[in-house]
Structure formats: C-alpha cells, structure tokens
Structure 1
Amino acid sequence: MTALTADQSAEQLPRPTRLADVKGWFFTADQLMFDWFLARQERRKEPGDLLELGAYMGKSAIFMGARLRAGDRFTVCDLFDSPAEDASNSKEMAKSYATLTRRAFEANYLSFHDELPHLVQGLSSVIRTHVEDESCRFAHIDASHLYEHVHGDILAVRELLRPHGVVVLDDYRAEHCPGVAAATWQAVTTGGLKPLCITGTKFYGTWGDAEPVRAELLEWLRSREDLWHEVQEVAGQPLIRLSAKGAKEPVHPVSRHRVRPGAPAAGLPHAAGRGGRQGRSALRRVAVNVLPPVVTKAIVAARNRGR
C-alpha cells in the first residue's frame, strides 16, 4: 500500500483480492484465535458488539467484520490522519504510521464488506463517549504503545465489555513496546484481568469466568494437530501458550473483488434476468466488482437502453 495523494479517494485505491494483500501484522495464530473466540460467542448467542482501538490499514478489522452479526455494532477508533495531542504520541505516529490514512482503511475494508464499521477518528481515550458501557463482547486493543495510553485503554475497555467479554492486547511482549507489557501484566496482577491464552504477538483475557473458556479452548487445541500448545501458570492462574507454525489461515474473509474462474459468465445472466431496480443494481455490482471498466460501461449502457 502506497501513500495517498491529496486528490485520491477510497474508490481510486487498489483493491486487495485477499487478506494477505492488506498491509499489517495479523498472523495465522491470531486469525485462528479471533475466529475461535468470535465463533464461540456466536454459537452461544452471547449478545454484544465489537470494538477495535487502533486499526492501521484495517487487516484485523476486516477479519472481525466477517463475524459481525445482524444487529451488532462494530466500532473502530483510530487517529487516522488526525494529529496526536502530545509530543511522544506524535513521534510514535510519525515513525510507525507515516502512510496511514482513513481513506486507505476505508478502501481496504470495503474490498471485503458492503458497509464500513462505525468510525471514531481520534484518540482512543475518547472511546467511552462513543460506546456504551457493558455493550461489547469482544475488544481488540492495538492503539498507542505508550504505557499511560495502553493503561487507559485497558481501563476503558473493562467498562465497555460485557461481564464475560474478551479483550485482546497486541504487542504485549515486543521489545519496542515495554509500555504495553507493563500495562498488560499490571492488569493481570492488580486489575482483575484473567489470562486465557497468548500467541507470539497477542494476549487474550477476560474479566469474567475464565475457566469454562479455557476448558473449551484446550479441547479444541487438542483436536488440532497443526497447532502446538502448552499450559503455564502465571500469577496463580493457568495460561495457554500456543503456536500455529505450519497451520493454514481461515478461509474468510473473502474479498468482494476476487476474480474466480467462471464467475462473470455464471453471475451476469442471473443478475440480468431479474426485473426492476433490484436486477439493475445486482448487475452493476457484478460488473463493477468483476469486469474491466470498458466492459462494465458497455453492459450498463445496453441495460439502460433496454429499460
């Protein structure tokens, strides 16, 4: 993903055809864990919304959006192009996210989903003015790496999560993010956060009853020959450590712009055969997503002449 010029819009940006095309750090083990936790909540019909603090180019948000249920709200908070309010945070933004823009996020997200999540452009510290307390079932914290900000994000998410909600903390062990590690383990030792599992890059925990979740996760891990795991004890609590080297990534989400063999031939007659506005809309969606622009214009023009 290249930096945007001032006159570029989301519609003009390159469209990723698979999740791997989206710039960012969201590895197989965490894709599997996000999918497992979100699928478990869906299976158990646990109510609640989704939340992400810190989005970068949208890779994990795209993945979370694939598990969004009808009626759920997905809120994504990021500075995007806005300036940070303090010097240290501004320095971090300039160093790590120089090419980040809201339009790049939107273009990537809309390559996989029909609608954007609810976007909050600003510091993560404002999130409680946009999300109701005890409304979320799953929250991903990946915003600032500075201790005071991460500590504040954890405190906010604790209030925003439902009683058995799951929080995920990124970069809890990276050497360039000691503030994240300090805030994470402080939440465990003094803040009541119960660890569930860790991967190489993310920590998963809950302020609810952790034991049933751990038991189900262990049962699932034992059934997976492609995943390695062990159980350690941290601060008097079990903690599952896992690795997914060699495991395959989940098959979803699938880009709306992926070209599949035979898709145009199979899709166009079906869409054209529908009557009224719905048929014309379906035809346009197929044409825009699959065919070259010159072919798209010809098909739509012919369709309009035939009204």
Structure 2
Amino acid sequence: MTARIADQSAEQLPRPTRLSEVKGWFFTADQLLFDWFLAHQRDRAEPGDLLELGAYLGKSAIFLGARLRPGERFTVCDLFDSPAGDASNSREMRKSYATLTRRAFEANYLAFHDELPDIVQGLSSVVGDHVDEGSVRFAHIDASHLYEHVHGDILTVRELLTTHGVVVMDDYRAEHCPGVAAATWQAVANEGLRPICITGTKFYGTFGDPEPWQQALLEWIASRGDIWHEVQYVAGAPLVRLSAKGAAEPAHPVSRHAAGGARGVQRAAVRSPEAPTARPVPRRPAASRAALRRVAREVLPPVVTRALVRARRRARTH
C-alpha cells in the first residue's frame, strides 16, 4: 500500500518548527555521514533512489527527503499502526514504539516537505514488491530489532541496491538488540556485506567495493579537522571508525512552521565536500577592543605602547 496524500487529521498534531523537535535518535556523526554519502553520490551523478525501512516519527526520513534529487523516488516502509504478524514482533512494537502512528509521521514529514514519500505500510519483508531490484543507491535499515527480521531486511536490500549502493544499519551494537548485531556481522561474514565505516550507533557498508568510499571518506575527514577517526582491520579488511563530538551539524530542512519559514519543499544546502563554505571571522566587540587598549597602556613598556599608537594612526590614514 502506497500513499502520497496525507490524512487531513495529521494537521491537528503538534507542529515541529525544527528537526531537533522531531523525536528520534539521529546523532551528529550520522547526520554528517548521511549528508556526505548522499553528496558524494550526487557529485558523481550516481543514479538511484532512496529507501528507509523503519521510520519511527520521521526524523531521518525528513533529513533524507531534503536530499532527494529531481526524478528520484523515496520509499519509506513501516508497520505504523498495522499488526506485526507474529507474537515476538508484536511485543517489541508495543514495548519500543507505543506512540508510533502513521498520522504522527505524516504530520512531522509534511512540516518540512510539500509531499509525502512513497509509504509502504506493512512488514519490511514486503518492500521488494514495491521497489525495483537494483534501483536504490542509499538504504537505511532501522525496522525490527529481531535477528530473523533484520537478517531478512539485509538480504532484501542487497537485491534492491545499485552496484555501488550504500546500506546503513542502525543499532548494530546496542545492548538491547543483539539480534541486529548478529545479523549485521553475519552478513559481513557470509552474505557479501563489506564495511565502510561505523559510528557509535550505525554501520555503513556496501555489497560493492568499499575501497573508493573509504579513500574519499578519509580525504573528507582530513579536510574538516573536527572529526576524530581511526582505521581498524576486521578479518583483514579496513574499517573506518569515527566520532563527531563537537562538530557542527549539516544543514537541515526548514519547517514551514518556523518563524519566517516559507511554504514549499525546503531543500537543505548540501555542499560539495571539495568546496566548503568559508566561515566569516568574527570581529571583536568595540568595548572589548577598548578594554584591551587600556590594559596595554598600563602593562606594556612606554616604547612599545608608543609604537602601537603610531601603527594604529598610520592604519587609519590608509
């Protein structure tokens, strides 16, 4: 079942004015990596659509939707209010996602975009019936935490990805969902999944060649200077581990409910990693400059103070 028109009742739900107000777990390091991977694909004109399995209340979906290129398709698959189909999955849904509804997702998404993505409401195992094989360049798996379901999601996404497509696994190391870790590393050992990098919460991999991704990623990290990283080796293959504590988040889509926010799709300003925007150098306040001059007069030797005064006068005349 797909949908592109929202239920009118979604308009009655709380209206987020910024992405940080949408509930969910989407940390700075992963925002930066989502932004970088998608920009890298854009700059190389790599074809393909976007896919998310498991949307919760839409935080990462809103972010992904802002980076959708013209003519591309974004598919979101989630159970939302539908029955899970088996007892163990139903228990997990009640425990982890008791507040999850499709109306809430749609209200949040439409606060930032004019049009909903293609929504598949049901188990992630059915997404292959709605998305063509080899059509997805970037897939985010964040649905069930149960091993059997995650294992199936990885195998499904493997068929949907393009040759150079990227898959992101959420909660690959969280203690409350060991099934995700088991399925992820089993796919690495047996199913052809090859790691690119990891953060504290997400695993990034490909079923193609990870080396070009890793080389470009390391160059980007070196150009920024605010991301910590190391390269480890797992079964003889390199794996980039990184952390972005203190780094600035990338550009976010703008909510139509924000002060001065215009209606319409608000695309994030996705900059090419090769051409970062220069940051203006802040000027010291005039009061602060005057205080420093007073200190200089009181502390510095007279000969130094006179030289500074002459230099300042010459600067004013030029």
Shorter-chain TM band: 0.7 to 0.9
How far residue 190 of structure 1 moved from its aligned partner, in angstroms, is 1.1
Residue equivalent to 1:180:
180
Give the 3-state SS of the residue equivalent to 1:51 in structure 2: strand
* C-alpha distance in 2 between matches for 1:109 and 1:235: 41
Residue equivalent to 1:80:
80
1:99-248 paired onto structure 2 within 5 Å: 99-248=99-248
Residue equivalent to 2:309:
none
Residue equivalent to 2:30:
30
Deviations 1:97-153 (A, max 9, x none): 001000000000001111000000000000110101000000000000000000000
TM-score, normalized by length of structure 1? Answer: 0.82
* Higher RCO by CA contacts (8 Å cutoff, separation 6 or greater): 2
Give the 3-state SS of the residue equivalent to 2:224 in structure 1: coil
* C-alpha distance in 2 between matches for 1:65 and 1:225: 28
Which runs of 5 or more residues in structure 1 are unaligned? Answer: 1-6, 268-284, 287-307
How far residue 16 of structure 1 moved from its aligned partner, in angstroms, is 0.6
State which structure, 1 or 2, has the greater radius of gyration over its C-alpha atoms. Answer: 2
Moved more, 247-256 or 183-192: 247-256
* C-alpha distance in 2 between matches for 1:110 and 1:237: 42
Residue equivalent to 1:272:
none
How far residue 251 of structure 1 moved from its aligned partner, in angstroms, is 1.9
Residue equivalent to 1:46:
46
> Which residue identity lines up with residue 179 of structure 1 in the other structure?
G
Residue equivalent to 2:269:
none
How far residue 225 of structure 1 moved from its aligned partner, in angstroms, is 1.9
Give the 3-state SS of the residue equivalent to 1:106 in structure 2: helix
* Runs of at least 4 residues off by over 6 Å: none
How far residue 15 of structure 1 moved from its aligned partner, in angstroms, is 1.1
* C-alpha distance in 2 between matches for 1:252 and 1:8: 26
Residue equivalent to 2:67:
67
> Which residue identity lines up with residue 259 of structure 1 in the other structure?
A
How far residue 209 of structure 1 moved from its aligned partner, in angstroms, is 1.4
Residue equivalent to 1:89:
89
> Which residue identity lines up with residue 236 of structure 2 in the other structure?
G
How far residue 226 of structure 1 moved from its aligned partner, in angstroms, is 1.5
How far residue 246 of structure 1 moved from its aligned partner, in angstroms, is 0.7
Residue equivalent to 2:281:
none
> Which residue identity lines up with residue 117 of structure 2 in the other structure?
P
> Which residue identity lines up with residue 122 of structure 1 in the other structure?
G
* C-alpha distance in 2 between matches for 1:223 and 1:53: 32
How far residue 38 of structure 1 moved from its aligned partner, in angstroms, is 0.4
Report how many residues are paired: 258
Which runs of 5 or more residues in structure 2 are unaligned? Answer: 1-6, 265-318
* C-alpha distance in 2 between matches for 1:138 and 1:174: 22
> Which residue identity lines up with residue 72 of structure 2 in the other structure?
D
Give the 3-state SS of the residue equivalent to 2:88 in structure 1: helix
Q: Percent identity?
A: 79
How far residue 8 of structure 1 moved from its aligned partner, in angstroms, is 8.5
Deviations 1:170-210 (A, max 9, x none): 00000011000000001111111110000000000001111
> Which residue identity lines up with residue 111 of structure 2 in the other structure?
S
Give the 3-state SS of the residue equivalent to 2:32 in structure 1: helix
RMSD: 1.4
TM-score, normalized by length of structure 2? Answer: 0.79
Moved more, 186-195 or 158-167: 186-195
> Which residue identity lines up with residue 125 of structure 1 in the other structure?
S
> Which residue identity lines up with residue 13 of structure 2 in the other structure?
L
Deviations 1:268-296 (A, max 9, x none): xxxxxxxxxxxxxxxxx59xxxxxxxxxx
1:12 aligns with 2:12: yes
> Which residue identity lines up with residue 110 of structure 1 in the other structure?
L
* C-alpha distance in 2 between matches for 1:28 and 1:9: 32
> Which residue identity lines up with residue 202 of structure 1 in the other structure?
K
* C-alpha distance in 1 between matches for 2:47 and 2:17: 31
* C-alpha distance in 2 between matches for 1:53 and 1:32: 20
